[in-house]
Amino acid sequence: MASKFINPWIKKIETYIPGQMKEGWIKLASNENNYGPSPAVIKTIKEKAGSIYVYPYKDAEVRREIAKYCRCKQGNIITGNGSDEIIDLIFKTFKTPAAGMFPTFSTYRITAGIFNKKYGEIPLDPGFSFDCKKFINNENFRESQLIFLCSPNNPTGGVIEREDIEKILAEGKITVVDEAYYEFCNKTCAGLINDYDNLIVLRTFAKAFALAGLRMGYAVAPEKLIKSLMKVKPPFDVNLLAQETAIAALSDVEFMEKNVKRILDDRIILVEKLKKKFKVFPTDANFILIDASPETANEFFNELFKEKIIVRKFGRFEGFEGDYVRISIGTGAENERLIELLEKI
Ligand SMILES: Cc1ncc(COP(=O)(O)O)c(C=O)c1O
């Protein structure tokens, strides 16, 4: 049978399950920014739609604009088809084994599996706090050459302090700091690329800039690392409209900042409401992790699903007590509807 030709490790890979989406429903499952993109982005899509007969050709311009936004040089930036693709490029480029914290964004582990590379998980402390000393002393860290950190961490919401990141960088391994939610916390270690030659910072236009559907991510790193990543990057991975709209989004950063502020203001209200009934974990991002117990995550999910609201149920995290659900913060109206329903749960 044809299945004998499939690489044996591929059979073992868990398939990534994206948050569900139903037209007209309230989706609070994938940490998108439901306010949507800047009008400058919509205008650009309309104006540039007829240009898609040419291969994408604006990578240099996009990198230049991103570099301005990140206060670094164009040579410090690489773009990708979402930061997901850059994770893929990292596994193609750098030596393994790899390691990361647990729980965290599952794509690091899944991508390692696709490349048949070892990926060790290092548990966070109970309550999901990050103990740097324990992390560095963990056997999985010690034997790894490639480290994944996520700050703010998806799905827990916690940040890793800059001094901890520096301690990890000082260990000399390639260290990826995923800052997909940077704009919601304003804490970054991107400036450290001038001090550490082993740092890669991942960012995306999918969250605060509200371009998830266009797929545009980037990394900030020392020029030498970028040059190696560039060698394995497919030439036309980022489509032309994603390039054009990233430039447009960066021309209207104020729009993004205004909506981020609305989300952060609503976060305070939502956290207070949720705290009345559930254990809520401190968050620096546009989502909130709760322990739904004594209800199960499934029951919590279903109660909202009946009302056309989709959240992300994780259920149990191995080694941790509790039953977990992650709720993205939506628009003002969506959050009000959520709060109304939470009163009834
Ligand atoms: C921590 C983290 N990194 C990366 C990504 C992927 O982002 P992108 O849409 O740029 O591929 C996500 C998406 O949920 C995420 O939560």
pLDDT tens digit string along 238-250?
999 999 999 999 9
Residue 196 φ then ψ, to 5°: -125, 125
pLDDT digits (tens, 9 = 90+) for 74-108: 999 999 999 999 999 999 999 999 999 999 999 99
User: What is d(CA 12, CA 35) in angstroms, rounded to the nearest whole number?
Assistant: 38
- Cα 31 to ligand 1 centre (Å): 9
Q: Which residues form the pocket of ligand 1, taking CB atoms under 6 Å from any ligand atom?
A: 31, 82-84, 105, 150, 154, 178, 180, 204, 206, 212, 217
Nearest CA to ligand 1 atom 3: 180
Residue 321 is predicted with a pLDDT of 95
In the reported structure, the alpha carbon of residue 328 is separated from the centroid of ligand 1 by a whole-number distance in angstroms of: 13
Q: Whose CA is nearest to atom 2 of ligand 1?
A: 180
| Residue 1 alpha carbon to ligand 1 centre in Å | 36
How many A from CA of 4 to the centre of ligand 1? 33
Under 8 Å between Cβ of 311 and 290: no
Residue 19 has pLDDT above 80, yes or no: no
Contact 176, 193 (CB under 8 A): no
Of the candidates 270, 280, 325, 274, the one whose C-alpha atom is nearest the C-alpha of residue 298 is 325
Please state, in angstroms and rounded to a whole number, the distance separating the CA atoms of residues 157 and 280.
10
- 218 to each of 75, 76, 222, 261, 277, how far by Cα in Å? 12, 10, 13, 23, 38
145: confidence class by pLDDT, cuts 50, 70, 90: very high
Tens of pLDDT, residue by residue over 55-71, are: 999 999 999 999 999 99
Cα 343 to middle of ligand 1, angstroms: 31
Instruction: Give the Å distance between the CA of 204 and the centre of ligand 1.
Output: 7
The two three-digit tokens of residue 275, written as one number: 């705290």
Tell me how far apart the alpha carbons of residues 182 and 127 are, in angstroms, rounded to a whole number.
Answer: 22
What ligand 1 atom has the least distance to the C-alpha of 206?
9
Q: Which residue ranges make up each domain of the chain?
A: 2-36+254-344, 39-252
Task: Please list, in sequence order, all residues whose beta carbon lies within 8 angstroms of the beta carbon of residue 39, skipping any fewer than 6 positions away.
Answer: 252, 255
What local confidence, expressed as pLDDT, does residue 237 receive?
Answer: 98
Looking at the CA of residue 153, tell me the nearest atom of ligand 1: 1
Tally of CB atoms within 10 A around 248: 23
Which tokens in the block code for residue 171?
Answer: 């260990």
Question: Which of 79, 154, 218 has most ligand 1 atoms within 8 Å of its beta carbon, as the pocket-test mutant?
Answer: 154
Residue 314's pLDDT is 96
Instruction: Check: CB of residue 149 under 8 Å from CB of residue 87.
Output: no
The rounded Cα 203 to chain-centroid distance in angstroms is 8
The topology (CATH level 3) of 2-36+254-344 is Aspartate Aminotransferase, domain 1 (3.90.1150)
Q: Determine contact, residues 73/67, Cβ cutoff 8 Å.
A: yes
Q: How far is the CA of 122 from the centre of ligand 1 (A)?
A: 20
CATH label, 39-252, candidates 3.40.640.10, 3.30.413.10, 3.90.45.10, 3.90.800.10: 3.40.640.10
Q: Residues 17-45: what's their mean pLDDT?
A: 94
Instruction: Tell me: pLDDT of 9 over 90.
Output: yes
Atom of ligand 1 nearest to the CA of 207: 9
Q: Mean pLDDT across the chain, nearest whole number?
A: 97
